[in-house]
Amino acid sequence: MAKNKTAYVCQNCGVDSPKWIGRCPSCGEWNTYVEEPVLQKDSRTILPSLSAPAKPILVSEIAPQAHRRIQLQSGEFNRILGGGLVPGSVILLGGEPGIGKSTLTLQIALDTQLKVLYVSGEESAEQIKLRADRLAGKNPNCYILSETLLENILKHAQSMNPELIIIDSIQTLYTERVESSPGSVSQIRESAAQLLKYAKETGTPIFIIGHITKDGTLAGPKVLEHIVDVVLQFEGDNNFVYRIIRAHKNRFGSTAELGIFEMMGTGLREVENPSEILISHRNESLSGVAIAATIDGIRPFLIEIQALVSTAAYGTPQRSTTGFDIRRLNMLLAVLEKRVGFKLATKDVFLNIAGGIKVIDPAIDLAVIAAVLSSSLDIPLPDDCCFSGEVGLSGEIRPVNRLDQRINEAAKLGFKRVFVSGNVKNMPPIESSTKIISVNRVEHLVKYLFTKQSVE
């Protein structure tokens, strides 16, 4: 009898090796190689081909066809996908445990009128029923299947012909063709390939939920992201109610879109205007609070920057941020000390972006500096102003892109003044009466906000 061949496969990136290696030469991770059997070339596929073999065809002879997108009840999700579900597409949804992946997909299955097959390898049918009662969905054609064997799942799919399939999750599936445990690189790769084959041959869209690793990337081989058509990342903090979905890959739309949801007891609610929620409505003016006009993807909205500057109780001052890069905060503090003369080396500085979201837009630098100065001087900023500008190492305020959209968003919420860079050229027309205040350097901002002449 022939001996089964084995190889050592990295469980992080999927690179194989004929022998065990301590450190993966591809991804650099240690102790990730596991011995797995090699799939034989003559093994049969799980799903027989449903169509005739493809033949070469001239590109000029291909008839263009418009994709008929399937509209979901969630407008935010339709926009992320580029206008709706494309038949035969495979969507991979990743996120941290407890972030709301299963809740979102079950909510999609219950709100639509499509014939849905919801496959769960992590929960029983009774557990899913409890969540479905809480979500109060009314889809009479939503079928629940608690199964982890891929062969059985495809047999049920072929017999009932669903219009939408949801897999929760890809790490729990296994096939008898691969002799390894569920969640291994070989099992994930083979299961995803067979699901893709079924989706393309039947035109059935498939949602696949994936786990993520400790560093925030999708678990499994990198080929998993190449196989699917759309890769969505579910972001947010379990301690906050807001969730953000970003498209990292989309073959049928833009990757600049994002959707914002609010986690409630009855499921995820769409947030159509995030600016009104991310900004707190205060009855009194407080120091250390500044409003920044930012853009994430192609969507402008306003966020609240909160800063607290106090005397260091111990020898070493603390620097702490939530939702903002700590290294960029240290750079802005160095600019304030070098260019403006504020001595912050002995002060504790804490920075927080309200709502629990993470922002990497450099246009909020100006708001961060204004909030830090306001807290350090204990002088509240005016309630009717917001900020949008990038700060350089020499203290200059640099212009940002799509400034007109930022200003129009600020005007919708009643802000009368917007601080921007003085180096803006060819300012686009603004559809509001908001006053635009141009400042070239950080020193000019300090004089305008915290001097008696500007107050008067």
Phi, psi at 165, each rounded to 5°? -120, 135
CB 365 within 8 A of CB 332: yes
**How many alpha carbons lie under 13 Å from residue 347 in its C-beta half-sphere?**
20
**DSSP state letters, 261-276:** EEEETTEEEE-S-HHH
Query: Distance between CA 59 and CA 364 in Å, rounded?
Result: 47
Strand partners, 94: 210, 233
Strand partners, 411: none
Indicate left, alpha or beta for 57 from its phi (over 0: left) and psi (-120 to 50: alpha).
Answer: beta
Output DSSP code: residue 292.
Answer: E
Q: Is 315 annotated as contributing to ligand binding? A: no
Q: Is 279 annotated as contributing to ligand binding? A: no
Amino acid at the residue 57: I
Q: Is 123 annotated as contributing to ligand binding? A: no
Question: Distances from the Cα of 291 to the Cαs of 67, 247, 386, 404, 442, in angstroms?
Answer: 42, 26, 5, 17, 17
CB 422 within 8 A of CB 389: no
Query: Distance between CA 335 and CA 373 in Å, rounded?
Result: 12
Query: Distance between CA 162 and CA 325 in Å, rounded?
Result: 45
Q: Is 262 annotated as contributing to ligand binding? A: no
Residue for token digits 């591809």?
A: 26
Q: Is 102 annotated as contributing to ligand binding? A: yes
**DSSP state letters, 362-421:** GGGHHHHHHHHHHHHHT-PPPTTEEE--EE-TTSBEEP-S-HHHHHHHHHHTT--EEEEE
Tokens of 354: 């309200």
Q: Is 163 annotated as contributing to ligand binding? A: no
Residue for token digits 């579900």?
A: 85
Tokens of 161: 């012909």
Query: Distance between CA 279 and CA 165 in Å, rounded?
Result: 38
**DSSP state letters, 2-25:** PPPPEEEEETTT--EESS--SB-T
> Per the annotation, where are the binding residues for ATP?
95-102
State the binding site. Answer: 95-102
